[in-house]
């Protein structure tokens, strides 16, 4: 099985190559027949890998080739799959496959069909390689590759100016995070002398034994913080979260795959992979927890006020990523991965449902112009409802199990700041339920707020419906792989990847208490949403009018974009203008043109020597002769000796 | 003060004055006469330097033949065509005076600081007299040591003769070319051709004009008509200012 | 100043040469320019013969002989050119030779 590891990323890569090279000429509208089977093949292989690892409890590895043989610094391209990787492979390939199938229907008739179906498998390839990488450099390469694919896909509708801007914003903010990541990699190499993950001389073992090896605790802290800065660029944690809502400019399947299930989880994956570095430093863990918890709460507050259907779900993603982050920060590693998996399914479902709604409403995205859609799109309604319930964490859907574990895990964490994070998590859970069901009630219930004579919403086709159903089923049942809490198959499986951390042991009392508490909180949120947006007992407008400043603050996303614009973007713009006008045009161009003008002017003057008169030329000869005689006299004669 | 020095200064003074006369005379004929006088004086200098053969050759060949030739040509070229003395640009004049002065200083400096070649050769006056004189000594050397140079020089003279003859030749008799635009006649320096109508470019036949400014560039594109009869296409003097027979 | 030395003749030769050179550079009539060139050749001949006299060799005189011959040929050809020019109706003014101008 290990020998076939390379096929898992290779199949989508081949699909990309075929589609991008032959797409315009040969394949055109049939590009999905290349891409979907390729990803399906990856899915099958990932499943086999999972089963294999489950049986043998050994990791699989395959060495591909030596990439950089430079003396002591030897980088090989190898694939390594342990339990954590296997779970990630399943998540990526499953959601990837379903999104591919969905896109066949969603992108039908789009002129860039083949382009979409070349970028999408390219992304799947990059993500698969990222999770299969066994050293920091290869991981970083594919980290960048997924960023590139994100850029390509966000800017897919490249003729729209806003799409281009959003793609650039995503890439640039990512790069800021990558600066931290890069510095962290260099620090790791400098400290440990290697960039390889595994083995006794690998980074993680050395990090775990850092005290015995004489590595200072401060170094580990710094390393952890730098790595997490990289992760927060990719996983959209505060303060690098600003790109994710704008990334909704891309087609909805892209949002589902990249910005819900896979790319944004790459950061979480990377931190989970490097857990030994983080557990060596309590400060780093605190850093992660604070940022994660803050992001979770902040995103939830913003989501309350947004009106674009995709943006609400995007902020929900931000919030859930914050959950995963503070789960990691408080030491609930397995819970974070569990939530990563369940979130991939129900968030993917929610995004695909959004796509279905947008498609049915003929590209309308403002929820204030929707309403009562459950009559027109029943399938979408029911799947969306399941997804929302899972997101809110209602028993017995998938989200309940994972979120509950995070809250409990944070509470019982070894770190002192754990319980605070847990409380923040509860607050965010309330808000999560509130805004999700605001969305549900405003879109699917109530009276239609659009012109029914003009607009006839319709249900989606089969290509789009089947993935919705599959994901809905998954959102219901996948939670049970982690049942009973902290003791299920999932925990035992994944814990092998976190060997140096003790398993959490929870009592039944704690479990039940937290379960009940989280359900109450979630139901409370749903109830408030019901009252406000369905019954109308509480008036949202009145609330907004009572606290106008708060409302504006939340509506404008805590003014982050404006802040960054003032601090970074505008000065940079002015500096670029300066460099352009004064340095490039004024100095460099002027110098070059000045040389040309100078030469031209000089040659014009010199030209006047050519009078055409033979007498002048004779004079020139005589002059030359006098000069030569003079030189001879001065240099070679007795005159000056 | 020996007589040698006196004679030298005398001859040198005369030669310098006549040289200045060559340069400064308005009339080229005067220039030629001055040059003849200068050369005679130079021949005197040669005699003082013991090169009698050269002195005589100088007078016979240079003055007797070359300068006479020059005088002939001066007469052939219309003496009234005399342009003014100095060149058009004053810069040329001043610069050439300056150069002359500088060169004089340089050569003077070179002469003064030279390390002389003290008589090391074998052609001392006694030896030369023993052979029979300057001419005999020269003869001995030319036909033995410098034979090749002698032959080459004769070649140069031959080529010079051929060149001079070709340049001065009248046009050959031959056929006529088709196009009849403006023409030149080589045999009649003052003649113009038959009244051709103005050419397609508005050209008129060439005239010889006393105070003519520089000929325009279009004049260089004229073709040559080669005819059997030099008089057939020329109308001598009719359209020119002078009524002279060509 | 008592003895007659080579330097006397050399100075004379230099002076004649320079006079000839200024004539070449200054005058407009081509024939006079030709005569000044001849003057320059003659001045150099004096110099050669002076050196030959000083060093008791005959090489200088031989050179002058040949220079004389070459100057004769050159004068002949030059005069032929001037004659041909004047026959074609162009003047013998050196300032009219302007075709090297751009």
Split into its structural domains, chain C has a count of 1
CA distance A616 to C55: 39
**What is the spatial distance between Cα A472 and Cα A353, in angstroms, rounded to a whole number?**
10
Contacts of A244 (CB under 8 A, 6+ apart): A170, A236, A259, A264, A314, A317, A318
Cβ(A429)–Cβ(A407) below 8 Å: yes
Q: Residue A325: which of A360, A354, A359, A285 has the closest Cα?
A: A285
With contacts defined as CB-CB under 8 Å, which chain C residues touch A610? 100-102
Of C24, C25, C101, the CB nearest to A612: C101
- Structural domain contains residue C97: no
Whether residues A622 and C28 touch (CB distance < 8 A) is answered with: no
For residue C98, being part of any structural domain is answered with no
In a domain, C11, yes or no: yes
Return all residues near C41 (Cβ < 8 A) that are at least 6 apart.
C67, C68, C71
Residue where the block lists tokens 């009145």: A542
DSSP three-state, residue A580: helix
* Best CA proximity match to B176, nearest among B228, B133, B123: B228
Per-window interface: C 37-96 vs B, CB < 8 A:
38-39, 42, 45-46, 49-58, 61-62, 64-66, 68-77, 79-84, 86-96
Alpha carbon dihedral A134, A138, A140, A145, in 10-degree steps, equals -120
In this structure, the answer to whether residues B161 and B219 fall within a common structural domain is no
Peptide bond into A239 cis (omega under 30): yes
Q: Between β-strands A73-81 and B192-193, what pairing exists: parallel, antiparallel or unpaired?
A: unpaired
Please tell me if residue C100 touches chain A, with a CB cutoff of 8 Å.
yes
Q: Which domain, by its residues, includes C56?
A: 6-90
**Cβ under 8 Å to C: A residues 610-629:** 610-615, 617-619, 622
Alpha carbon dihedral B28, B29, B31, B36, in 10-degree steps, equals 150
Q: What value does the mean pLDDT of chain C take?
A: 88
Q: What are chain A's partners, defined as 3 or more CB pairs within 8 angstroms?
A: B, C
* Burial tier of B89 (Cβ tally within 10 Å: 0-12, 13-18, 19+): middle
Q: How confident is the model at residue C102 (pLDDT cuts 50, 70, 90)?
A: low
Cβ proximity of B213 and B88 under 8 Å? no
User: To the nearest whole number, what is the mean pLDDT of chain A?
Assistant: 87
Pick the range with the lowest mean pLDDT from A563-572, B77-86, B88-97, C70-79. B77-86
> A441 with A448: CB under 8 angstroms?
no
In a domain, C102, yes or no: no
- A612 to chain C: which residues are within 8 Å by CB? 98-102
Inter-chain CB proximity B106 and A637 less than 8 Å: no
Burial class (CB in 10 A: 0-12, 13-18, 19+), B156: middle
Contacts of A322 (CB under 8 A, 6+ apart): A237, A291, A292, A293, A294, A295, A296, A297, A298, A299, A428
The beta-carbon neighbor of A610 closest among C24, C28, C101 is: C101
Q: Which residue stretches of chain A have pLDDT < 70?
A: 27-28, 639, 641
Spatial contact of A524 and A430, defined as CB atoms under 8 Å apart:
yes
Single out the residue in B111, B134, B159 at which a domain terminates: B111
**CA quadruple A448, A450, A451, A455: dihedral positive or negative?**
negative
Interface test with A, best of C17, C18, C25, C37 (most A CBs within 10 A): C25
Considering the domain boundaries, does residue B209 fall inside one? no
pLDDT at B78: 65
Measured over the CA atoms of residue B67, residue B73, residue B76 and residue B81, the dihedral's sign is negative
> DSSP state, A639?
T
Is the separation of the CB atoms in C93 and C28 below 8 Å? yes
Question: How do residues A456-498 score in pLDDT, each as one tens digit?
Answer: 777 878 888 899 999 999 888 888 887 777 778 888 888 888 8
**Is residue C67, in this structure, part of any structural domain at all?**
yes
Which tokens hold the place of A160? 């729209």
- Among the partner-chain residues C25, C94, C100, the one whose CB lies closest to the CB of A622 is C25
* Claim to verify: residue B43 and residue B16 sit in the same structural domain: yes
Per-residue tokens: A381: 């309604």
Beta-strand relationship, B192-193 and B234-235: antiparallel
Same domain membership, residue B28 and residue B4: yes
Which of A539, A323, A569, A563 shows the shortest CA–CA distance to A422? A323
**Integer Cα distance of B61 and B32 in angstroms:** 15
B103 and B4 assigned to the same domain: yes
The set of residues, in sequence order, having a beta carbon less than 8 Å from that of A88 and lying 6+ positions away, is A131, A265, A269
**What is the three-class DSSP state of B225?**
coil
The three-point CA angle A440-A441-A444 to 5° equals 70
Q: How confident is the model at residue B115 (pLDDT cuts 50, 70, 90)?
A: confident
Q: Are residues B155 and B89 in the same domain?
A: no
Q: Are A383 and A472 in contact (CB under 8 A)?
A: yes
Q: What is the dihedral of CA B96, B98, B103, B109, to 10 degrees?
A: 170
pLDDT of residue B194: 47
* Stretch among A547-551, B16-20, B158-162, C13-17 having the lowest mean pLDDT: A547-551
Same-domain pairing of B138 and B103 = no
Q: Return the pLDDT at B216.
A: 54
With a cut of 70, say whether residue B110 has pLDDT above it: yes
Per-residue pLDDT tens for B144-153?
999 999 999 9
User: Which pLDDT value is given to residue C4?
Assistant: 85
CB atoms within 10 A of CB A109: 6
For residue C100, is it within any domain? no
Residues 6+ apart with CB under 8 A from B196: B180, B181, B182, B183, B205
Q: In this structure, what token pair is assigned to residue A187? A: 């620090």
Higher-pLDDT residue of A219, B104: B104
Query: Quick check: is C81 in a domain?
Result: yes
Indicate whether B5 and B105 sit together in one domain.
yes
The CATH number covering residue B91 comes to 1.20.120.1200
Residue of higher predicted confidence among A260 and C42: C42
| Polymer length in residues for chain C | 102
b/e map of A344-374 (b: 16 or more CB within 10 Å)? bbbbbbbbbbbbbbbbbbeebbebeebbbbb
Least-confidence region, from A450-464, A473-487, B179-193, C45-59: B179-193
The rounded distance, in Å, linking the Cα atoms of A151 and A167 is 5
Residue B202 forms part of a structural domain: no
Domain membership of residue B154 as a residue range: 125-169
How many whole angstroms separate alpha carbon A255 and alpha carbon A262? 10
Q: Which helix (H) or strand (E) holds A63?
A: strand A60-70
CB pairs under 8 A between A and B: 39
Q: 């100043």: which residue's tokens? A: C1
Residue of B nearest to C5 (CA): B5
Taking CA–CA distances from A611, the nearest residue in chain C reads C101
Q: Are residues B187 and B89 in the same domain?
A: no
Euclidean distance between CA atoms C34 and C55, whole angstroms: 32
Whether B53 and B79 map to the same domain: the answer is yes
Residue C27: name the closest of C100, C94, C96, C99 by CA: C94
pLDDT (0 to 100) of residue B176: 41
What span, in angstroms and rounded, lies between the C-alpha atoms of A281 and A289? 13
Residues B82 and B142 in one domain: no
Q: CA A454, CA A279: separation in Å to the nearest integer?
A: 59
CA distance A416 to A290: 12
CATH number of the domain to which C33 belongs: 1.10.287.3510
Asked if B102 lies within 8 A of A637 by C-beta distance, the reply is: no
Q: CB–CB of C14 and B42 under 8 A?
A: no
State how many domains chain B has.
3
**Domain final residue, candidates B111, B139, B158:** B111
Residue B59 contacts C, CB cutoff 8 Å: no
Mean pLDDT of chain B: 75
CA–CA separation, A501 and A414 (whole Å):
11
- Output the CA–CA distances (angstroms, integers) from residue C36 to B182, B219, C68, in the order listed: 37, 31, 15
pLDDT level of residue C14 (50, 70, 90 thresholds): very high
Q: Are residues B71 and B145 in the same domain?
A: no
Q: CA-to-CA distance for A129 and A2, rounded, in angstroms?
A: 15
Closest CA to A515 of A351, A395, A357, A374: A395
In a domain, C96, yes or no: no
Query: Is the confidence at residue B180, as pLDDT, over 60?
Result: no
Residue B98: closest C-alpha in chain A: A623
What's the complex ipTM? Answer: 0.91
Least Cα separation, residue C10 to chain B (angstroms): 7
Contact A431/A303 with Cβ under 8 angstroms? yes
Residue found by looking up tokens 């590693």 in the block: A333
Name every residue whose Cβ is closer than 8 Å to that of residue A450 and which is 6 or more positions away in sequence: A361, A364, A369, A370, A371
Q: Furthest-apart CA pair in chain A: how many Å?
A: 119
Regarding whether B222 and B138 lie in a shared domain, the answer is no
Do residue B49 and residue C49 have CB atoms under 8 angstroms apart? yes
- By C-alpha distance, the chain A residue nearest B93 is A619
Distance CA A274, CA B112 (A): 94
Alpha-carbon span A188 to A219, nearest angstrom: 9
Q: Subunits with at least 3 CB pairs below 8 A relative to chain B?
A: A, C
C-alpha span between A195 and B6 (Å, rounded): 106
């Amino acid at each position: 099985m290990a020998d076939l590891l390379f096929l898992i990323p290779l199949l989508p890569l081949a699909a990309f190559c075929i589609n991008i090279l032959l797409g315009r000429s040969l394949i055109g509208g049939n590009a999905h027949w290349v891409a979907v089977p390729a990803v399906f093949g990856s899915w099958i292989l990932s499943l086999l890998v999972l089963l294999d690892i489950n049986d043998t409890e050994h990791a699989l590895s395959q060495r591909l080739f030596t990439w950089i043989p430079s003396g002591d610094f030897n980088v090989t391209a190898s694939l390594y799959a342990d339990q954590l990787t296997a779970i990630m492979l399943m998540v990526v390939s499953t959601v990837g496959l379903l999104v591919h199938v969905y896109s066949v229907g969603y992108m039908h008739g789009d002129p860039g069909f083949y382009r979409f179906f070349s970028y999408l498998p390219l992304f799947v390839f990059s993500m698969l390689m990222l999770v299969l990488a066994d050293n920091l450099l290869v991981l970083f390469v594919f980290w960048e590759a997924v960023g590139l694919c994100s850029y390509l896909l966000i800017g897919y509708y490249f003729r729209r100016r806003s799409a281009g801007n959003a793609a650039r914003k995503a890439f640039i903010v990512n790069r800021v995070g990558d600066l931290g990541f890069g510095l962290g990699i260099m620090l790791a190499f400098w400290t440990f002398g290697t960039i390889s993950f595994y083995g006794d001389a690998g980074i993680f073992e050395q990090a775990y034994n850092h005290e015995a090896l004489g590595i200072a605790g401060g170094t580990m802290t710094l390393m952890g913080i730098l790595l997490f800065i990289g992760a927060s660029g990719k996983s959209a944690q505060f303060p690098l979260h600003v790109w994710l809502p704008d990334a909704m400019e891309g087609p909805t399947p892209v949002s589902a795959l990249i910005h819900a299930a896979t790319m944004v989880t790459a950061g979480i994956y990377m931190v989970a992979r490097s857990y030994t570095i983080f557990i060596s430093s309590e400060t780093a863990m605190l850093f992660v927890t604070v940022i994660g918890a803050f992001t979770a709460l902040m995103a939830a507050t913003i989501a309350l006020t947004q009106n674009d259907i995709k943006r609400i779900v995007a902020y929900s993603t931000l919030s859930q990523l914050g959950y995963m982050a503070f789960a990691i920060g408080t030491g609930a590693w397995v819970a974070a991965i569990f939530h990563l998996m369940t979130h991939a399914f129900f968030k993917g479902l929610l995004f695909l449902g959004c796509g279905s709604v947008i498609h049915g409403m003929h590209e309308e995205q403002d929820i204030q112009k929707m309403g009562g859609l459950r009559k027109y799109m029943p399938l979408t309604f029911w799947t969306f409802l399941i997804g929302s319930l899972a997101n809110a964490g209602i028993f017995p859907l998938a989200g309940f199990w994972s979120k509950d574990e995070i809250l409990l895990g944070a509470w019982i964490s070894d770190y002192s700041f754990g319980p605070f994070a847990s409380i923040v998590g509860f607050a965010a859970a309330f808000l999560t339920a509130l805004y999700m069901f605001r969305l549900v009630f405003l879109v699917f219930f109530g009276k239609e707020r659009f012109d029914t004579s003009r607009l006839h919403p319709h249900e989606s086709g089969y290509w789009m419906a089947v993935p919705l159903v599959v994901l809905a089923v998954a959102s219901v049942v996948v939670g049970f792989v982690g049942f009973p809490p902290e003791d299920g198959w999932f925990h035992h499986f994944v814990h092998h990847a976190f060997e140096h951390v003790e398993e959490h042991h929870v009592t039944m009392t704690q479990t039940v208490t937290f379960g009940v508490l989280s359900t109450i909180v979630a139901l409370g949120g749903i109830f408030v949403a019901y009252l406000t947006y369905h019954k109308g007992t509480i008036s949202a407008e009145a609330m907004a009018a009572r606290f106008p400043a708060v409302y504006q603050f939340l509506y404008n996303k805590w003014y982050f974009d404006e802040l960054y614009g003032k601090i970074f973007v505008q000065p940079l713009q002015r500096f670029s203008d300066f460099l352009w006008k004064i340095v490039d045009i004024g100095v460099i161009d002027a110098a070059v043109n000045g040389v040309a003008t100078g030469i031209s002017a000089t040659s014009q003057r010199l030209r006047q020597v050519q009078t055409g008169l033979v007498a002048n030329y004779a004079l020139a000869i005589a002059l030359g002769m006098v000069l030569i005689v003079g030189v001879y006299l001065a240099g070679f004669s007795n005159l000056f000796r | 003060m020996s007589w040698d020095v006196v004679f030298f200064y005398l001859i040198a003074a005369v030669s310098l004055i006549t040289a200045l006369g060559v340069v400064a005379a308005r009339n080229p004929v005067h220039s030629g006469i001055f040059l003849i006088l200068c050369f005679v004086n130079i021949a005197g200098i040669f005699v003082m330097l013991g090169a009698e053969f050269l002195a005589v050759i100088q007078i016979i060949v240079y003055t007797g033949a070359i300068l006479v030739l020059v005088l002939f040509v001066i007469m052939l070229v219309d003496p009234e065509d005399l342009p003014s003395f100095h060149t058009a640009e004053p810069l040329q004049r001043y610069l050439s005076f300056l150069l002359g002065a500088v060169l004089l200083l340089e050569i003077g400096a070179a002469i003064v600081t030279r390390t002389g070649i003290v008589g090391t050769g074998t052609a001392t006056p006694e030896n030369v007299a023993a052979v029979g004189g300057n001419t005999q000594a020269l003869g001995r050397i030319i036909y033995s040591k410098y034979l090749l140079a002698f032959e080459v020089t004769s070649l140069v003279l031959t080529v010079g003769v051929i060149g001079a003859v070709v340049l001065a030749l009248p046009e050959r008799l031959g056929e006529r070319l088709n196009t009849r635009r403006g023409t030149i006649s080589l045999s009649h320096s003052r003649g113009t051709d038959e009244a051709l109508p103005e050419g397609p470019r508005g050209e008129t036949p060439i005239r010889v004009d006393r105070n003519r400014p520089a000929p325009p560039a279009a004049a260089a594109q004229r073709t040559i008509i080669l005819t059997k009869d030099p008089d057939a296409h020329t109308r001598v003097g009719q359209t020119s200012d002078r009524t002279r027979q060509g | 100043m008592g003895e007659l030395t080579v330097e006397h003749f050399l100075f004379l030769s230099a002076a004649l040469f320079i006079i000839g050179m200024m004539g070449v550079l200054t005058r407009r009539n081509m024939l006079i320019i030709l005569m000044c060139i001849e003057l320059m050749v003659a001045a150099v001949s004096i110099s050669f013969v002076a050196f030959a006299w000083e060093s008791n060799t005959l090489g200088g005189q031989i050179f002058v002989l040949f220079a004389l011959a070459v100057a004769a040929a050159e004068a002949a050809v030059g005069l032929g050119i001037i004659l041909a020019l004047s026959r074609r109706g162009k003047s013998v003014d050196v300032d009219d030779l302007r075709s090297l101008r751009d």
